[in-house]
Amino acid sequence: MTALRRLSIAVPALLLLSSLIGFFFTRGSMANLPSFQRRGAAKSSTDSLVDQRPWQMIEALAPLAVSSEENRLAREAERLADHAVDQAFAQALRQAALDTHPGARNAMTIQQKAQSLQTIVKEDQDKVNTLTATAKAASASAPVNPDDLDAAKAQLQLDSDELADANEELARVSGDNRDQIQRELTARQAAMKKFDQQSESTGASAVQTAKGYRTLAGRISALFDQGTRMDSIAQARDQADDDVKSFTAQQTDIASKLNASNATNGKDTQTMSRIARLNQMHTLSQIHSILEDRIQTEKQLSSNYGRWLDQVKRQRGIVVHLILQSIAFIAFLLLCSALINAGVSKLLERLKVDRRTLHTMRTIATLGIQFITLLLVILSTFGVPSQMPTIIGLATAGITVVFQDFILAFFGWFILMGKNGIRVGDWVEISGIGGEVVEVGLFRTSLLETGNWTDQGHPTGRRVNFMNSFAISGQYFNFSTSGQWLWDEIRMNLPTTPDTPALLESIREAITKETADSIKQAEAEWQRATRQQGLSQFSAEPSIDLRPAAAGVDIIIRYIARASDRFNIRNRIYQSLLGLMQKEEPPASLVSGEKSA
C-alpha cells in the first residue's frame, strides 16, 4: 500500500515536471504569431518589402473583442491600421523611385532591350487581335487558317515572357523594386476587399458579456483570457509607440536630406542636373509628408489601443466582481450547511431514542446535508452539464448496480407487509436462524434469536438483522401463520414388566387429557390455513414410539403444544407422569426434547 501511495504521488509529479520542461523549451513558439511579434523586430525582406505589421497586429487582435465597446475600438484600430499600411505602400513606392539607379552598369543596355521587346510584344498583340477579328468576320467559303492564329498567340507568349525577364533583370541591376511593391499592393487590395465584405458583428455590452459567465469556472477562465488579451493589446500599443519613434527618426533624416539638396541646388549650373535634383527634392518632400501622416496615424493607433486596454481593464473589474460574488455564494452555501447541520443535531438530541439510533440518525443527516451542499457547489462552479439526459441515465444505471441490495430490500418490504408476510411478534426462521420478530423496517428485519445448542425456544439475547431482499431472492418460514405450534417430545425408559402395556396406555390417556385443548385448536387452525374441511393425513393426536433398550424399553412421546404454553404443558405432563410412576417399581427415567412443526 505504501508503494502504491508513493507511485500515485510520483507519477503526477513526474508528469508536471516534464510538462514544465516542455513549456520552457516551447516558450518562443508564440513569437511566430503576428499578434505576439517582438517589438522592434525587423521585417524580413523575403516576406514583404512593405511593413504591414500594423494591419497584421489588429487582424490578430480584432477576433479577441468580446463586447460591443471592444468591437467599436477594434473597428477604429482597423481603419487606422489600414490607413497606416496604405501610407507605407505610398512611401515605399517613392523610396523605390529614389533608390533606382538608371545609369548603373549594363542598365542602359537592358533598358533598351526591354523597350525593344515592348515594341515587339505590342506588334504581336496587334497581330493576334487582327487574326481574331478576321476569324470572326470570315465567311465559310474563305475561312482563316487556325494554325496562323495559334502560332501568333504562341509568339506573343514567348515575347511576353522574355519582356518580363528583361524587366526583372533591369529592376535587379537598377535597384527598382516598384513592380514588386505594386504586386504586394494589388494583393493587399484584394484581401481588403474580401475583408470589407465580411459581416460586422456588434455584440453585447461589456456588462451583458460578463454576466454571460454564470459559473465560477467560466468567470475564472474569462479572467485569464482577459489577462492574455491585455498583454496582446499592450504589446500592440507599444509597437505603435516604437513605430512613432522610428518614423520620427526617418522624418528627421529626410529633413536633413532636403536641407542638403536645397543648399546644393543653389550652386548647381547644369540644367539637367538641376531638374533631376528638383525631382529628388519633390520626392523627398512627399516622403516627408507621408511620414508626418504615418506618425499621426500611429499616435492615434496607440491612443486607440490605450482606450481598448482601459476597456478590457474595466471588464476585468466586472469579472473580478462576479468571481467574488460566486465565492460569496459558495461560502454562503457552506455556512448554511454548517448551520443546518448544527440545527438538525440539536433537534435529534431532543428525541428520546437510544444512543446508537441517535448516532445513526445524526450520521445520515450529516451525510445528506454534505451531499446536497457538494452538489450545489459543483453546479455553481461548473454549471449544469450540457448532456444532462445522458448523465442522468448513466448515473441511474450506476446507482442501480451499486445499490441493488437496497433496492431489493425496499421492494421486499412491500412483500413482507402483504397478506402472507410477517409481523412483529411472529416466530419465523430466516436463513436457518429462528427467532421472534421485533422490528420490520423499510430495509431490514430484526429478530430476537431463540434456541441454543441444547434446546430451542429459549432466547439467546442476540438481535439478528436481515436485509429485506430475502423476501424476493430467498425464503423464510413463519410459524405464526399456523398458531406457532410445536411438536414437543419426552423420552422415557421403562423396565420390561407384565404391567408395561397398561402403563403405556395410562401415559397415552394422561398426555391426551393434558393436550386436548391444544389438539383441537391446532387441527382447526390447520384446516383454516389450508382451506380444507378434513385433514386425515394431518393429525394433532399425541404418539408414543417404542424402542428396545438394554435396561428395558425406551419410549418417545410426541405431542402438540403452542410455543407460548410449551413449558407449562410440559410441566403438567411431568406431574402426571410422576404420579403414574409412583405406582410402579422401580421408577422410570425421563428425558425430554422437542421438534418444531
Residue 410 lies in a domain: yes
Least confidently predicted of 106-110, 118-122, 294-298, 301-305: 106-110
SS3 state of residue 191 = helix
- Radius of gyration over alpha carbons of the chain, in Å? 54
Averaged pLDDT for residues 218-233: 86
Residues 541 and 490 in one domain: yes
From CA 532, how far away is CA 181, in angstroms rounded? 115
Does the structure show a pLDDT above 80 at 34? no
Averaged pLDDT for residues 181-186: 70
At residue 89 the predicted structure's pLDDT band, cuts being 50, 70 and 90, is: confident
Residue 459 lies in a domain: yes
In the block, which residue shows the cell 455556512?
335
**What's the 3-state SS for 257-290?**
HHHHHHHHHCCCCCHHHHHHHHHHHHHHHHHHHH
Residues 456 and 494 in one domain: no
Residues 418 and 469 in one domain: yes
Does the structure show a pLDDT above 80 at 344? yes
CATH at 496:
3.30.70
Q: How far is CA 278 from CA 34, 176, 258, 296, in A?
A: 40, 20, 10, 27
Q: Which of 463, 479, 495 is the last residue of a domain?
A: 479
* Domain range for 451: 405-479
From CA 329, how far away is CA 377, in angstroms rounded? 9
C-alpha dihedral, 75 to 81 to 82 to 83, nearest 10°: 120
Beta carbons of 485 and 479 less than 8 angstroms apart: yes
Residues 576 and 502 in one domain: yes
Residue 397 lies in a domain: no
* HSE value, Cβ hemisphere, 13 Å, CA-based, for 421: 19
Residues 472 and 497 in one domain: no
pLDDT tens per residue across span 531-573: 555 545 567 788 888 888 777 788 888 888 876 677 788 888 8
Does the structure show a pLDDT above 50 at 595? no
**Cα-flanking dihedrals φ and ψ of residue 560, to 5°?**
-90, 145
Average pLDDT, the chain: 75
Residues 515 and 540 in one domain: yes
At residue 23 the predicted structure's pLDDT band, cuts being 50, 70 and 90, is: low
Q: How far is CA 152 from CA 133, 143, 166, 262, in A?
A: 13, 17, 21, 53
**Cα-flanking dihedrals φ and ψ of residue 155, to 5°?**
-65, -40
Q: Which of 455, 479, 503 is the last residue of a domain?
A: 479
At residue 169 the predicted structure's pLDDT band, cuts being 50, 70 and 90, is: low
Task: Give the single-character DSSP code of 457.
Answer: T
Residues 460 and 503 in one domain: no
Residue 239 lies in a domain: no
Residues 511 and 582 in one domain: yes
Residues 588 and 531 in one domain: yes
Residue 587 lies in a domain: yes
pLDDT tens per residue across span 347-359: 888 887 777 778 8
From CA 370, how far away is CA 362, in angstroms rounded? 12
Q: How far is CA 441 from CA 416, 432, 447, 477, in A?
A: 10, 20, 11, 18
According to the model, what pLDDT value does residue 100 have?
A: 56
Does the structure show a pLDDT above 60 at 482? no
According to the model, what pLDDT value does residue 28 have?
A: 53
Residue 588 lies in a domain: yes
Residues 516 and 442 in one domain: no
pLDDT tens per residue across span 4-22: 657 766 776 777 777 778 7
Least confidently predicted of 86-100, 196-210, 392-406: 196-210
The reported pTM is: 0.51
Q: Work out how many domains the chain is built from and give that number.
A: 2
Percentage of the chain lying above the pLDDT 90 cut: 1
Residue 456 lies in a domain: yes
Greater confidence (389 vs 167) lies with 389
According to the model, what pLDDT value does residue 461 have?
A: 74
C-alpha cell at 334: 457552506
According to the model, what pLDDT value does residue 36 have?
A: 42
pLDDT tens per residue across span 38-69: 434 434 434 567 778 888 888 888 877 887 88
Q: How far is CA 426 from CA 410, 435, 463, 477, in A?
A: 21, 8, 15, 10
Residues 456 and 499 in one domain: no
According to the model, what pLDDT value does residue 90 have?
A: 80
Residue 420 lies in a domain: yes
Averaged pLDDT for residues 1-5: 61
Does the structure show a pLDDT above 50 at 377? yes
C-alpha cell at 2: 505504501
Q: Which of 479, 507, 537 is the last residue of a domain?
A: 479
pLDDT tens per residue across span 307-318: 888 888 888 888
CATH at 419:
2.30.30.60
Residues 491 and 589 in one domain: yes
Greater confidence (430 vs 482) lies with 430
Does the structure show a pLDDT above 60 at 590? no
Peptide bond into 586 cis (omega under 30): yes
Burial of 454: CB neighbours in 10 Å, binned 0-12, 13-18, 19+: exposed
According to the model, what pLDDT value does residue 269 have?
A: 47
According to the model, what pLDDT value does residue 594 have?
A: 47
E strand intervals along 441-523: 444-450, 459-467, 476-478, 485-494
According to the model, what pLDDT value does residue 102 have?
A: 52
According to the model, what pLDDT value does residue 445 have?
A: 92
